[in-house]
Structure 1
Amino acid sequence: MKKIIFIFLLFPVVLLAQKTAILKGTIKDKNNKPIQGVNIKFGTTGTNTDTNGKYQIRIPINEEVSITFSHISHHTLIRTYTAKRVTTYRLSLVMTLKTEKLDEVIIKDRTGDAKGVKTIDKTLLDKIPGGSVENILMTFAGVNNNNELSTQYNVRGGNFDENLVYVNGIQIYRPFLIRSGQQEGLSFLNTHMIQNIKFSAGGFQAKYGDKLSSVLDITYRTPKEFAVKVDASLLGASATIEGTLLDNKLSAILGVRYRDNSLFVNSKQVETNFRPSFTDVQTFLSYSVDEKLTLNFLGNFSLNDYNYKPLTRKTRFGTVAEPLELIVFYQGQEIDKFLTSFGAVSADYKVNDHLKLTGTLSAYNTQEEEYFDIAASYNLGQVDSNLGSETFGDVQFSEGIGSQLNHARNDLDALIVNAEIRGTHKKDGDQIDFGVKYQREDIRDRIREWEIIDSLGFSVRPLDHIVSNEEPYEPFEGPITPFQAVRAENDIKINRLSGFVQFSQKTSWGDHDVWYNVGIRGQTWAVTPQGQSTKSQFIISPRAQFAIKPNWDSDMLFRVSGGWYSQPPFYKELRGFDGTINKNVKAQKSIHLVLGNDYSFEMWDRPFKLTTELYYKNLTDVNSYVVDNVRIRYLANNDTKAYAYGLDVRLNGEFVPGNESWISLGYLKTEENIAGRGYIARPTDQRIKFGILFQDYVPNIPDLKAYLNLVYNTGVPGGAPAYADPYNFQERLRDYKRADLGVSYVFVDANKKNSYTNGWLSRFKELTAGLELFNMFDIQNSITNTWVRDVYSKRQFGIPNFMTGRVLNLKVSMQF
């Protein structure tokens, strides 16, 4: 009888428990940072936000409840909510600080904005398709690249060689001989080791090096506890292990990665036997000797074996009325090897509460081999376009028949060593940064490269060869001359000494908050080719930044930055088309001005920020170049001047509660004047850029998430043969359009860990599985052309080399 009474008493409680909904969300401050420890309560039910500002609470169905959000240092918020059915609802809020002295807090939290530096949420790296820092950058206005197989990028009219990349304050270099994106394999940056990501698209401070375009500043993290993270997909795998040793004095993190691009390359129009192997091992160690001294080590070893054997290619192009088809049969193969190693030892010494010194010794070595012999025989034919014909869609007759043979035996060995001392002095809102760096570059390069072109049995000679040929009336007995040939051996040493000093201050101007920075860099370098005298040069680079946050009701910040930027030549910029070194190449110079505005506001009770930047560059002593896939070939003569201007706009915020997304729009115009012949578009003149990074989830299944990368770039001038005169060839490639979609399901994460105390899921700290759909609309993008000759009209046709098609990838990520 007692059991029956107990069941009747329990039954209404069970029904009540079943008729509840889940309310969850994220609580952040006005700077879009999560707030931990917010107390959420209604009636006698309550909970708190975790370290990520997330919460979850059950509320009754069809009953209006008054929910209080309170925190010791933020203003209390009260929201009324009525759940209509049993499901999961989301409510994310922004809380404001109680303190009346908001000025000091805003200056501290907005310093990055004042510097024009974008801080990127590192958690996006594990979510977006592709999962790399460069994939995120490609969605920014002003950052462009039309090659999804490459990790390189152009910023505001600059080229790949004009971007600085730092890891823990140490400059990172990349291999020299890579000429196609599919040879790159892996970016240096190991996403599982990253703590912070900062990016500046121009107008950066004097403490950064001597480049013209951008700075990507990465910080690898110092682990606090043991963890293992493993990723596996059809494109490769990675594993990261981290932890502390020696009574927590030594923090260590080790990452191993393997990449195989076969899935991408097999989606291209060329049928191949492709056996790539991209392997990378990185480690970062930090040992705390005492409260003042910390020793660090950053190491990297990378081996890229690239074996490529093309078999056939079939491409249709032209118009509906006059369709053409190119068929190519290949013989031969390409075998490349890029072995790079890098090591850096640094010491951070805290002299006192105001002064900190950092000393760094680093060395970078790359050993590169580029060997290929590839013969291609082609047939250019006219396709039957008559719908009623029995041969509709077949090639009727050939317009061009020919072949070409490409040969290379290129070897390069480069050693770059440097020593650097940096210091920072902070006191009462003032900061002085200073540093000096010595660098030595020892480069040995052997080039053996030629191309022979044959059309209907006749060897095509270089454009500058004038040789009489009376065939078929008289036999031609002259030697076969390569259409292009480079033969050189370079042994060059470069010594550089650079330094900088800059001053920053946070202050007030009436009721307004002000931040400014002024600094100057200098560099002297000496180039010594083997058997030649030394050529020394010197440059000065003054730079300044100013930002003001008016005391307005609207949260606005205005900034202006710029200076006279210089880029002393690296080895590639000293080497001309013929492979010889011009030691007299001067530093490229750019007067750069950036005007920017940040407007932070709330929409739909969620934080948003609109960032607008207007920029202008005036460039002199420019070293003009041509681009072949991702290889840049310089004229090495400083005979060009150029300019670039544009507008970048980016709106980011929580379009979906708790998930940051953004929309970017950019306009760019850049032109150059080579040897006084007049202004024409530069190879990076990409006029319009539109990018979206969007995060979403299924309302009824919040652990099922979707991520979208969408990029649209208008076409750039290109696709011409490397020997073509750019003044005679200004046609643009087709617009670049690409959308990548990622869908994942979160089985376990920090918020769900406590839900699994038993079973196989309890072994994981995080477990996510999903699908990545690259180029989801299967759009044919091209970055170069293959040129063939029409025997009848004597014309040359540019056949587009299409990039990757639609590719589906399966990915699993887990952390223990």
Structure 2
Amino acid sequence: MLFMLSAVAFAQQKPILYGILLDENRQPIEGVNVYYADIEGTVRTVSDANGVYKILIPIDREVVVWFEHTSFKLSSLDIEMAANDTAEMNFILLTGHTELDNVVIDKNTEEDRIEGIIKVSPATIRKLPSASGGVEEFIKIVSGNSNNELSTQYAVRGGNYDENLVYVEDIEIYRPFLIRSGQQEGLSFTNSSMVKDLSFSAGGFQAKYGDKLSSVLDISYRRPEEFGAQVEASFLGGSLTLESASKNKKWSGIIGGRYRDNSLLVNSQQTETNYKPTFADVQTMVNFKPNEKWEISFLGNISENKYHYQPLYRQTNFGTIDEPIALQIFYDGQEKDEYKTYFGAIKSTYKVSDDFTLKVIGSLYHTQEQEHFDILAQYALGEVDTNIGSETFGDVRFARAVGSQLNHARNNLDALIANLEVKGYHNIKKNKIEWGVKYTREDIRDRLLEWEVIDSAGFSLNPPVIDLPVNDQPYNPYTGPLVPYNSVRALNFTQINRISGYAQWSRRAKIGESEIWMNAGVRTHQWQVTQRDAEDGDSQIVISPRAQFTLKPNWEMDMLFRVSGGFYYQPPFYRELRGSDGAVNPDVKAQHSIHFVVGNDYSFKTDKGKKFKLVSEAYYKKLDDVNTYTIENVRIRYRANNDAVAYAYGLDMRLNGELVPGTESWLSFGYMRTEENINDRGYIARPTDQRLKFGILFQDYVPTIPNLKMYLNLVYNTGLPGGSPSYADSYVYQSRLNDYRRADAGFAYVFTDGTEQFEDGHWLSVFKELSLGLEIFNLFNNQNAITNTWVRDVYTKSQYGIPNYLTSRVFSLKLTARI
């Protein structure tokens, strides 16, 4: 049952290295000898009249490729490539001996195009100016959606934050459970200073990837061959990364430590606070390769995020020019949250033969989380004095409503997740077959105790969801019981046992002069929820067939056409089993999506030889057994009853290439619509219904000062639905937030980037990279809102959605050094 075979692959062929060789005037060089020495002998080729060269490289073996010409310096390139790889390397030859950068290519760029995978260099990620930092910020630009710069979470094509898969070194990564605010997150799991390769799929992905509905982020870390160190420091924190390898290259390791303090960003918000955050982690990967066939890797991470928050005062102005309104809040109390996570994984990769590779992966994830707060907010909602000559200009002169709100929580969670997985990879002539089977055990101990009391104009408000006498004080006396406006109390001891598996087949063939790639696969997933002191759930099973088809016509244009899709299931994780009342429903069904994607990939060069790629994808999703939810900042609260159907459709377009010579820039555009129908009441916008999206990542330098670099990150998203309280009727709350507009800029002076040669003893000779820069977050000081605070006017019986604004303009210095 677990191994319904599927499809894949290409016969192993020697990788190809090719490119153009130019002189300092950007003119092609004819007659350059390109060669390397190998155990099979010396392999040579010569560049033609256009400077073009092409040479076959050994499979999975590092070689030194030499570029020799009597009129130019002898240059060399260390490179290692996998079977079927193709790599374009264009160089400018100078006048002695120049060693080019060490290059390791372990994925075929053509194969990524076939699968519709987005790839980006780690250097681009590290230089990206962003408030949250990390690889997730790049995804928000090119494919994902987000309106919270303090969060690393993102939504893709109508899905929510829980619908995205993240892998590091083939190992699935988990996030903390209780975090409700982006400013509490601190650090993403992925350490961008350790990344070697990053791939991202926004939908229609293959069966080898797990059981989520929206996207896959697949990351691999570097395997160093020599000692190196990298330091980054800014006003937001810093990181230190060390790497090394043994003399015989059998052992290698990389370790990174990070520290982050978001006080600079949070203090720019409208709420005055005493804020003491500490976000820190240590992450390491150690590799042992006893022989050419066998490799053992260990990946470990320890993180501790402490979030201490004491709000003091807030004033938010809203309304219109004719009728300005202000919300003033005076706070008392504090919040103390702590998230500790421990993660360890061992992966063994054994090459049984040239055509068969086996992987065994075991991982353990442990998280201990607490969320404790008591915050009293006393508010006044009133009219603003707009008389410029008045001494009280801008202050509230008349209060329409006064009240108080007391929030209390003592939430604790302890979760242990264990995985054991076996994967196989086979090359059979022109076919590639992949399969895998995985066992997962999830053990969650969760206590929820939180309540909210609202007092408006001296009278306690009853909750809207239970049958109580009407409270219309002061007109009539109220004789009913006093209860919290919102209360969640639960104690859950939940275990989930899962068995999942997949198999897929791929093949490369020809139709006439055109090339085609085919992939077909299937996943299956069985799970059961058990509880202490409660009824166990039923055993459930789902089967998910998927397929991809890619055509490359024999045209002069370098163009691909892709069609992919299938049935995608998302068996519920613990948070999806827990309803808005805190109770666990063990029989929640897997959300189900029929996904269909049509894409086009066009690579081209301009008249000046600049390379670009334009990718367009149209998609449609039909969703059943939808587990509806509300979003509070970044916390998702499910209703856990599969009470809706939904759909999502849209168009994504992205262009990347050399807008400026020597740099890579990205432009993206997206249109998306997603709606849900809850209990046949009609379709309304889902919480992630963000219609239009534009993103730009632009890199440039000053022509007269080429060492002065500029990086610009621009995002525009139309407004999301304004959200609703978890206890409210979603059909009543259908207003939208304002559009999200964000610009982050970075300016850096690069003392060296490793391409220049310095004499021994020069102070820069020890550095491979050294730069000092200025980062400006929210360059244009736009006011962006993440959610609404709902305030009740006791006199008019109206509710106001008061926007919770995000960060304003912030400046920071950043130092980067690599040796």
Equivalent in the alignment of 1:82: none
Equivalent in the alignment of 2:21: 38
Q: Which amino acid aligns with 2:814?
A: K
CA distance in 2, matches of 1:719, 1:485: 19
Query: 1:391 deviation in Å?
Result: 4.6
What do the CA deviations read for 1:215-249 (whole angstroms, capped 9, x no partner)? 00000111111001110000001000000126321
Aligned alpha-carbon RMSD (Å): 2.7
The structure 2 residue matched to 1:750, chosen from 750, 754, 765, is 754
Equivalent in the alignment of 1:424: 425
Equivalent in the alignment of 1:544: 547
Query: 1:73 deviation in Å?
Result: 2.3
What do the CA deviations read for 1:762-794 (whole angstroms, capped 9, x no partner)? 232211110111100000000111122223322
Name structure 2 gaps, 5 residues minimum.
Answer: 1-15, 35-47, 56-66, 68-87, 92-104
Equivalent in the alignment of 2:435: 434
Equivalent in the alignment of 2:194: 193
CA distance in 2, matches of 1:41, 1:127: 27
Three-state SS of the structure 2 residue aligned to 1:125 is helix
CA distance in 2, matches of 1:375, 1:44: 71
Contact 2:21 2:90 in 1 (8 A): no
Q: Which amino acid aligns with 2:114?
A: A
Equivalent in the alignment of 2:164: 163
Equivalent in the alignment of 1:801: 804
Equivalent in the alignment of 1:28: none
Contact 1:206 1:542 in 2 (8 A): yes
The structure 1 residue matched to 2:637, chosen from 633, 641, 644, is 633
CA distance in 1, matches of 2:488, 2:268: 33
Three-state SS of the structure 1 residue aligned to 2:587 is coil
Three-state SS of the structure 1 residue aligned to 2:353 is coil
Query: 1:47 deviation in Å?
Result: 13
CA distance in 2, matches of 1:368, 1:223: 34
Q: Which amino acid aligns with 2:23?
A: I
Equivalent in the alignment of 1:372: 373
Equivalent in the alignment of 2:416: 415
Of residues 504-513 and 790-799 in structure 1, the stretch that sits farther from structure 2 once superposed is 790-799
Q: 1:272 to 1:248 in 2, by over 3 A?
A: same
Contact 1:548 1:557 in 2 (8 A): yes
CA distance in 1, matches of 2:17, 2:139: 23
Of residues 686-695 and 127-136 in structure 1, the stretch that sits farther from structure 2 once superposed is 127-136
Equivalent in the alignment of 1:647: 651
Three-state SS of the structure 1 residue aligned to 2:725 is coil
Three-state SS of the structure 1 residue aligned to 2:754 is coil
CA distance in 1, matches of 2:504, 2:475: 75
| Correspondence 1:769-780 to 2 at 5 A | 769-780=772-783
Q: Which amino acid aligns with 1:735?
A: D
CA distance in 2, matches of 1:628, 1:680: 18
Of residues 392-401 and 276-285 in structure 1, the stretch that sits farther from structure 2 once superposed is 392-401
Q: Which amino acid aligns with 2:489?
A: R
CA distance in 2, matches of 1:451, 1:400: 19
CA distance in 1, matches of 2:125, 2:737: 30
Equivalent in the alignment of 2:283: 282
Contact 1:94 1:605 in 2 (8 A): no
CA distance in 2, matches of 1:470, 1:235: 50
Contact 1:42 1:68 in 2 (8 A): no
Q: Which amino acid aligns with 2:789?
A: T
Contact 1:40 1:70 in 2 (8 A): no
Query: 1:750 deviation in Å?
Result: 1.3
Equivalent in the alignment of 1:523: 525
Alignment length, in residue pairs? 743
Equivalent in the alignment of 2:484: 482
Contact 2:194 2:221 in 1 (8 A): yes
Q: Which amino acid aligns with 1:718?
A: G
Q: Which amino acid aligns with 1:811?
A: K
CA distance in 1, matches of 2:516, 2:687: 39
| Correspondence 1:5-20 to 2 at 5 A | none
Equivalent in the alignment of 2:76: none
Contact 2:580 2:726 in 1 (8 A): no
What do the CA deviations read for 1:577-621 (whole angstroms, capped 9, x no partner)? 110011110000000000000111111321111100000000001
What do the CA deviations read for 1:443-462 (whole angstroms, capped 9, x no partner)? 00001000000011101111
* Aligned: 1:730 with 2:734: yes
Equivalent in the alignment of 2:320: 319
Equivalent in the alignment of 1:303: 304
Q: Which amino acid aligns with 2:267?
A: N
Three-state SS of the structure 2 residue aligned to 1:289 is strand
Three-state SS of the structure 2 residue aligned to 1:273 is strand
Equivalent in the alignment of 2:330: 329
Three-state SS of the structure 2 residue aligned to 1:137 is helix
* Aligned: 1:70 with 2:51: yes
The structure 1 residue matched to 2:469, chosen from 443, 455, 467, is 467
Three-state SS of the structure 2 residue aligned to 1:73 is strand
CA distance in 2, matches of 1:470, 1:109: 68
Q: 1:434 to 1:755 in 2, by over 3 A?
A: same
Contact 1:672 1:682 in 2 (8 A): yes
* Aligned: 1:262 with 2:263: yes
CA distance in 1, matches of 2:468, 2:522: 53
Equivalent in the alignment of 2:113: 113
CA distance in 2, matches of 1:44, 1:566: 54
Contact 2:629 2:636 in 1 (8 A): yes
CA distance in 2, matches of 1:470, 1:683: 32
CA distance in 1, matches of 2:524, 2:650: 28
Q: 1:730 to 1:41 in 2, by over 3 A?
A: closer
Three-state SS of the structure 2 residue aligned to 1:304 is strand
What do the CA deviations read for 1:620-670 (whole angstroms, capped 9, x no partner)? 011011111000000101111000000001111111111111211100011
Q: Which amino acid aligns with 2:639?
A: L
Aligned residues with identical type, % of pairs: 57
Equivalent in the alignment of 2:501: 499
Query: 1:757 deviation in Å?
Result: 3.0
| Correspondence 1:354-373 to 2 at 5 A | 354-373=355-374
Three-state SS of the structure 1 residue aligned to 2:366 is strand
| Correspondence 1:547-696 to 2 at 5 A | 547-603=550-606, 604-696=608-700
Query: 1:716 deviation in Å?
Result: 1.1
Three-state SS of the structure 1 residue aligned to 2:123 is helix
Contact 2:723 2:733 in 1 (8 A): no
CA distance in 1, matches of 2:306, 2:209: 33
Query: 1:386 deviation in Å?
Result: 4.0
* Aligned: 1:707 with 2:716: no
Instruction: Show structure 1 runs of 4+ deviating over 6 A.
Output: 33-37, 41-49, 92-95
CA distance in 1, matches of 2:317, 2:436: 57
Q: 1:374 to 1:645 in 2, by over 3 A?
A: same
Q: 1:666 to 1:382 in 2, by over 3 A?
A: same
Q: Which amino acid aligns with 2:680?
A: G
Contact 1:40 1:48 in 2 (8 A): no
CA distance in 1, matches of 2:185, 2:378: 27
CA distance in 2, matches of 1:207, 1:301: 28
Equivalent in the alignment of 2:58: none
Contact 2:366 2:415 in 1 (8 A): yes
CA distance in 1, matches of 2:555, 2:762: 56
Q: Which amino acid aligns with 1:409?
A: R
Three-state SS of the structure 1 residue aligned to 2:746 is strand
Q: 1:486 to 1:165 in 2, by over 3 A?
A: same
Q: State the TM-score, normalizing by the size of structure 1.
A: 0.88
Three-state SS of the structure 1 residue aligned to 2:148 is coil
CA distance in 2, matches of 1:743, 1:201: 31
Contact 2:712 2:744 in 1 (8 A): yes
Three-state SS of the structure 1 residue aligned to 2:209 is coil
Equivalent in the alignment of 1:211: 212
Query: 1:701 deviation in Å?
Result: 0.9
Q: 1:739 to 1:470 in 2, by over 3 A?
A: closer
Three-state SS of the structure 1 residue aligned to 2:737 is coil
What do the CA deviations read for 1:410-444 (whole angstroms, capped 9, x no partner)? 00000000100001011333100000000000000
Q: State the TM-score, normalizing by the size of structure 2.
A: 0.87
Query: 1:720 deviation in Å?
Result: 2.9
Look at both structures and tell me which one has the larger radius of gyration over its CA atoms: 1
Query: 1:325 deviation in Å?
Result: 1.3
Three-state SS of the structure 2 residue aligned to 1:671 is strand
Of residues 784-793 and 39-48 in structure 1, the stretch that sits farther from structure 2 once superposed is 39-48
Three-state SS of the structure 2 residue aligned to 1:668 is strand
